[in-house]
Amino acid sequence: MAGPQVEVDGSIMEGGGQILRVSTSLSCLLGLPLRVQKIRAGRSTPGLRPQHLSGLEMIRDLCDGQLERAEIGSTEITFTPEKIKGGIHTADTKTAGSVCLLMQVSMPCVLFAASSSELHLKGGTNAEMAPQIDYTVMVFKPIVEKFGFKFNCDIKTRGYYPKGGGEVIVRVSPVKQLNPINLTDRGYVTKIYGRAFVAGVLPFKVAKDMAAAAVRCIRKEIRDLYVNIQPVQEPKDQAFGNGSGIIIIAETSTGCLFAGSSLGKRGVNADKVGIEAAEMLLANLRHGGTVDEYLQDQLIVFMALANGVSRIKTGPVTLHTQTAIHFAEQIAKAKFIVKKSEDEEDASKDTYIIECQGIGMTNTNL
């Protein structure tokens, strides 16, 4: 069943963990043996970090594959996939490594498994340099389900930097094929809502201050909409460690979702955290796309696998997205076209259409 080995240079373009996630996912799905070299070569701590290793081990376990040279700090791995199976799988970063990134690497694979899967993902739920779990549930989930599948994400415990200790359980049923998506009609913003949270020893006032500052910031630009950001104290039994942060979502008349988020850090005042999230949301609304900058790259693998032509409208195409496209073309042989949007209302903006002729991956187990 195995084709020729795919060679991937892990140092090009985004040059980080994302190359590993996209290439191992596609290798697993397509049954192609994979060698990745120069993993995270340019980073301050090159090679595999704990979260990358746990993601790789999970993909290996999902398909009873073989993984060689995979250890912390390793800059080269080889992976030989076998048949994807369902069932219960656990991945634990043992750090604040993001559970959302573990979900990113495993979700496409389990859709093409022989039976339903239950993924127990442990690590950081609201961690730096990764989507917050709230983003995954409130933005990624409703949009990615447009490809024609459903999944359930149960947040058992929240975990923060530096200790992690969070856990989510993701349940996914397999599909025969993925439908293409067409997200090109932005509509207009109909509501803005969100949550500002504190966990552990942090005072509730911090959540209230983040929410209030964010609302004030949004009101300056969007006057006619009620902005509902709930301050939340995470229950003691559902959060491990101390953390704070905020996520704000804008929903449009056509069902598009955009987000801005920020995490509290020691020594940074709560107002500043709230304003940062609000400004990120506003920036994502200004460019005229139908997805925000963090969703665009997460949709690429699904577009590549879908049966037909998918289109999404985006703001400036991020390096993460360009990287995902590069490897989806190299490994899966999907065809992408990225071009400037020709709509009149986008003429003055930096707006693009990403179009993909998907490969129509079929689940042979079903």
Catalytic residue annotation: 320
Place of tokens 């704990």: 50
Scored b (16 or more CB within 10 A) or e, 95-107 reads: bbbbbbbbbbbbb
Token readout for 233 is 């104290």
Is residue 161 annotated as involved in ligand binding?
A: no
CB 197 within 8 A of CB 238: no
CB 75 within 8 A of CB 46: yes
The residue type at 298: Q
CB 287 within 8 A of CB 349: yes
CB 10 within 8 A of CB 20: yes
Contacts of 268 (CB under 8 A, 6+ apart): none
Helical (H) or strand (E) element with 41: none
Cis peptide before 235 (omega within 30 of 0): no
Is residue 104 annotated as involved in ligand binding?
A: yes
Is residue 62 annotated as involved in ligand binding?
A: no
Q: Is 186 helix (H, G, I), strand (E, B) or coil?
A: coil
Is residue 48 annotated as involved in ligand binding?
A: no
Alpha helices in the chain (DSSP H): 17-30, 50-62, 99-111, 133-135, 141-144, 204-221, 270-286, 293-305, 319-332
Is residue 296 annotated as involved in ligand binding?
A: yes
Residues 64 and 167: their CA atoms lie apart, in Å, by: 24
Cis peptide before 142 (omega within 30 of 0): no
CB 122 within 8 A of CB 99: yes
The closest of 363, 355, 331 to 25, measured between CA atoms, is 331
Residues 151 and 77: their CA atoms lie apart, in Å, by: 30
Token readout for 59 is 């993909």
Residues annotated in the binding site for ATP, as ranges? 104, 294-298
Residues annotated in the binding site, as ranges? 104, 294-298
